[in-house]
Homo-oligomer: A and B are copies of this chain.
Amino acid sequence: MLAPIEPNPATPLYFDDLHIGQRFVSATHALDAAQIIAFAQIYDPQPFHLDEAKAHATLFGKLVASGWHTASISMRLLVSSGPPIASGIIGSGGELSWPRPTYPGDILRVESEILELVPSRSRPERGMVVIRNETRNQRDEIVQVFSPKLVVPRKG
8 Å CB interface, A87-117 against B: 87-99
How many copies the complex holds: the figure is: 2
Which of under 10, 10 to 19, 20 to 34, or 35 or more describes the interface residues of A?
Answer: 35 or more
Whether A97 lies near B93 (C-beta < 8 A) is yes
Whole-angstrom distance between the alpha carbons of A46 and B85 in the complex? 11
Is B96's CB under 8 angstroms from A94's CB?
yes
A48, CB-defined interface residue at 8 Å: yes
A76 part of interface (Cβ distance < 8 Å): yes
Residue A7 CB within 8 A of the other chain: yes
A127 on the B face (CB < 8 A): no
Q: Which residues of A contact B (CB under 8 A)?
A: 1-7, 39, 41-48, 58-59, 66-68, 71-73, 75-76, 79-80, 87-99, 145-146, 151
